[in-house]
Amino acid sequence: MQRTDFGKMACSIARTLDVIGEPWSPLVLRDVWVGVTRFEQLQADLGISRKVLTERLNHLVEQGVLERRPYDRRPRYEYVLTEKGTELVDLLMVMTGWGDKWLAGEAGPPVLYRHHACGEIGNPELRCTHCGNPMHATDVDLLPGPGAAG
Partner DNA sequence: CAATTGGGGTTCCCTGAAGGAACTTCAACT
Partner DNA sequence: AGTTGAAGTTCCTTCAGGGAACCCCAATTG
Q: Which of residues 127-146 bind DNA (CB under 7 A)?
A: none
Backbone angles phi, psi at 68, to 5 degrees: -95, 125
Contacting residues for 20 by C-beta, under 8 A, at least 6 apart:
26, 29, 60, 65, 88, 91
What is the rounded CA–CA span in Å between residue 17 and residue 64? 14
Measured from the CB atom, the residue of 74 and 116 that comes closer to a copy of itself is 116
- Using CB under 7 A as the binding rule, whether residue 75 contacts DNA is answered as yes
Which residues have CB under 8 Å from 10's CB, separation 6+?
147, 148, 149
54 binds, among DNA, a copy of itself, none (CB under 5 to 8 A by kind): DNA
If binding is defined by CB under 7 A, does position 41 make contact with DNA? yes
Within 52-111, which residues bind a copy of itself (CB under 8 A)? Answer: 81, 84, 86-105, 107-111
Q: Which residues bind DNA (CB under 7 A)?
A: 1-4, 22-24, 38-41, 47-52, 54-55, 57, 68, 71, 73-78
